[in-house]
Amino acid sequence: MSAARPVLRAAPSPASQSRHPGPAHLNAEGLAVEFDLGGRKQRVLSDIDLKVGKGQLVALVGPSGCGKSTLLRLFAGLMSPSAGKIEVAGMAPAEAARRKLIGVAFQDATLLPWKTALDNAAFLLETADPSLSRAEVRRRAQHNLHLVGLSGAEAKRPSQLSGGMRQRVAIARALTLDPEVLLLDEPFGALDAITREEMGSLLLDIWQRTQKTILLVTHAFDEAVFLSSDIHVMGTGPARILETIANDLPYPRDAQTYRDPRFSETEARLRELLVKSHKGAAP
Ligand SMILES: Nc1ncnc2c1ncn2[C@@H]1O[C@H](COP(=O)(O)OP(=O)(O)OP(=O)(O)O)[C@@H](O)[C@H]1O
Ligand SMILES: [Mg+2]
């Protein structure tokens, strides 16, 4: 349970005290998921407690297959837990999704193959608000594609885009409805290192301007440390949150952040926890 879970503070600062303003925007308590595999139950998540304050940007890391995407699907309202409680903005995730409070970019981009990048980015807006003119829908979609660095690629279909470009279209699409919550599943996984850093800075910029609540799944230690305030580390067999690292690096973060001694301390701690969780042992 969360009460017993250690929360590490590499270097306490006044900023860390305002880390959890108000009630949790994303809230999971005692969450469990079991999949039915032809009569045999596979427990994937067990006793997950996770709270994300409104306007927080937090990272979720853990070994491949431990259940990160499953947890995101629960928060997106796409599936129900076998046990426990889950809420987004104080309501059932499916209701929050219905009210368009949630934007999701999945690991595999899931674009509509027959639509162009622009039409994929515009798709949700068209269906969500039929009163908007076609020109306005295109303008907003174009703006979001520009935000993710895809100006000029509007007319391309998913098969004509690289994996990283498809991921960026998915992020543009997640932004379309201006949701309060962004659930991002390895959104930069297919990008080269420099573009990944650029996209990370862009995400920070969007977050600082809009104060969206962001839950980011990533396998990249440096990305987790550079972007997030809390890093939730998951273990396997079945998955639970092993530890939450409170990352006290101050915002705004920039190239200097990588040189802050707290950056390497937090990254080293994260690496240590993940090595242990890969071995299936609690730290
Ligand atoms: N619909 C499903 N039916 C049965 N098992 C599933 C289903 N979805 C996921 N699983 C299983 O649940 C476990 C967790 O999967 P999940 O996709 O959440 O992992 P992950 O942490 O996101 O992994 P990765 O880092 O590789 O993306 C895996 O063992 C997977 O095989
Ligand atoms: Mg996954």
- 224-256, pLDDT tens digit by residue? 999 999 999 998 877 889 999 999 999 999 989
Q: Is 79 in the pocket of ligand 1 (CB under 6 A)?
A: no
* pLDDT-based confidence at residue 276 (cuts at 50, 70, 90): confident
Matching CATH number, 2-101+179-277, of 3.40.50.200, 3.40.605.10, 1.20.1440.230, 3.40.50.300? 3.40.50.300
* pLDDT-based confidence at residue 19 (cuts at 50, 70, 90): low
Index of the ligand 1 atom closest to the CA of residue 79: 1
Q: For residue 110, report the distance from its CA to the centre of ligand 1, in Å.
A: 17
Q: Is 65 in the pocket of ligand 1 (CB under 6 A)?
A: yes
pLDDT of res. 4: 43
Residue 59 token pair: 């990272």
Mean pLDDT of the 74-96 span? 95
Q: Is 220 in the pocket of ligand 1 (CB under 6 A)?
A: no
pLDDT of res. 13: 33
In degrees, rounded to 5, the angle at the alpha carbon of residue 114 between the alpha carbons of residues 195 and 139 is 60
Tally the C-alpha atoms within 13 A of residue 221's C-alpha that lie toward its C-beta.
Answer: 14
In degrees, rounded to 5, the angle at the alpha carbon of residue 203 between the alpha carbons of residues 199 and 209 is 145
Dump pLDDT digits (tens) for 178-198.
899 999 999 888 788 888 888
Give the closest ligand to the alpha carbon of residue 42: 1
Give the closest ligand to the alpha carbon of residue 234: 1
Residue identified by tokens 């407690």 is 49
φ/ψ region of 186 (left if φ > 0, alpha if ψ in -120 to 50, else beta) reads left
Index of the ligand 1 atom closest to the CA of residue 66: 21
Protein residue with least CA distance to atom 6, ligand 1: 35
Give the closest ligand to the alpha carbon of residue 37: 1
Which segments within 38-147 are labelled E, that is strand? Answer: 40-53, 57-61, 83-88, 102-105
Q: For residue 241, report the distance from its CA to the centre of ligand 1, in Å.
A: 16
* Residues with CB in 5 Å of ion ligand 2: 69, 107
Residue identified by tokens 């940007």 is 57
Q: Is 64 in the pocket of ligand 1 (CB under 6 A)?
A: yes
Protein residue with least CA distance to atom 23, ligand 1: 65
Protein residue with least CA distance to atom 25, ligand 1: 64
Around Cβ 6, how many Cβ atoms within 10 Å? 10
74 and 81 Cβ atoms separated by less than 8 Å:
yes
Index of the ligand 1 atom closest to the CA of residue 72: 18
Residue 15 to residue 167: CA distance in whole angstroms:
32
Residue 243 token pair: 């530890």
Q: Is 189 in the pocket of ligand 1 (CB under 6 A)?
A: no
Q: Is 69 in the pocket of ligand 1 (CB under 6 A)?
A: yes
Dump pLDDT digits (tens) for 90-124.
999 999 999 989 999 887 768 999 999 999 999 88
Element (H, E) at 243: strand 240-246
Residue 206 token pair: 């969007």
With a cut of 90, say whether residue 215 has pLDDT above it.
Answer: yes
Mapping DSSP onto H, E and C, the string for 111-156 reads CCCCCCHHHHHHHHHHHHCCCCCHHHHHHHHHHHHHHCCCCCCCCC
Index of the ligand 1 atom closest to the CA of residue 219: 25
Domain definitions of the chain by residue range: 2-101+179-277
Element (H, E) at 31: strand 24-37
Amino acid at 27: N
Residue 50 to residue 59: CA distance in whole angstroms:
11
Residue 31 to residue 252: CA distance in whole angstroms:
33
pLDDT of res. 21: 53
85 pairs with which residues across the strands? 29
Residue 257 token pair: 């952040």
Give the closest ligand to the alpha carbon of residue 63: 1
* pLDDT-based confidence at residue 18 (cuts at 50, 70, 90): very low
**What does R_g of the chain's alpha carbons equal in angstroms?**
19
